[in-house]
Amino acid sequence: AGLSKLTGKPVVITHHGDLILPEGGLNRFIQNTMFFFYRFLARRASRIIAYSDDYANHSYYLQPYLDKVEPVYPPVHMPDPDPEVVARLRAEWQHDGGPVIGYPGRFVEEKRPDLLIRSLEVINQKYPNARVVFAGEYDIPYEGTWERHQALVQQYRDQLIFLGLIKDMQEMANFYAACDVMVLPSDTECFALAQVESMLCGTPMVMTDTPGGRVPVQATGMGRLVPRGDWRAIGEAVIDVYENLDKYVRTREEIESVFSFQETVDHYERIFREVVSK
């Protein structure tokens, strides 16, 4: 922002999500400091790109600057899953024909992975052979969610698989395709690109009804929304989606028509041209 002022060049920024950290004095200091720097930048920006109107209208970062906000879906590009690898992964993870449920994200407080694990109490009533596969970091140094939920993890340990962080997008595509249902039980999400990635790989979502995060399911119909914090509803939705895949699954072409990589690039270019021309 300072360089923009010195050179007279406009600034366009993309907002990737409000910073929300667990309780604690240090975290509050970090959160407030980052918000101060964000406001300094936002006041000087010519345009602020948000992933959706839904998120912008509920964001404490964006609400003061809605006159500058323009919604643009994020660019999402996903390779096709490898059928042979997908079959091998399913054979490895599936137990006696039960559903394979995926979780694509960090094991942190705001993502509420504990709710997905608790939902096994509901899922097990009908599918006791279900397995939940976590793709993402789980022992996070800056917060204690993993340690805090160890009793819950150990209670369902035989049904949980932790892969750790996956950096290769082809491996992620194979992970998505090897699961029957993907679940994001987050308390807050800006958009959750993992939803679109999963949909492009043919796997429907169960997502919490959170501003911004609910947009991919609302825009495509490829999944179910559930109330935030309700592990019973998560379990019931997983069963419903798993038993009615024909109802929820959309083709890759249908998903790409909604979340078009090229349209996102074109939209950014239009914004850049408009800002420069003023």
For the chain, the domains span 2-73+260-277, 83-256
pLDDT at 7 over 70: no
pTM of the model: 0.90
For 12, the 3-state DSSP assignment is: strand
pLDDT bin (cut points 50, 70, 90) of residue 73 is very high
Q: Where are the beta strands (DSSP E) in 202-264?
A: 205-208, 223-226
Identify the CATH number of the domain defined by range 83-256: 3.40.50.2000
pLDDT at 32 over 90: no
- Looking up tokens 């039980």 gives 185
Of residues 74 and 35, more confidently modeled: 74
In 46-168, which residue ranges form alpha helices assigned H by DSSP? 53-56, 83-93, 113-118, 120-126, 145-148, 150-155
Output the pLDDT for position 6: 55
Cα 14 to Cα 20: distance, rounded to the nearest angstrom:
17
- For the chain, the average pLDDT equals 93
Give the H/E segment covering residue 41. helix 25-44
Radius of gyration of the chain (CA): 20
Give the H/E segment covering residue 161. strand 160-164
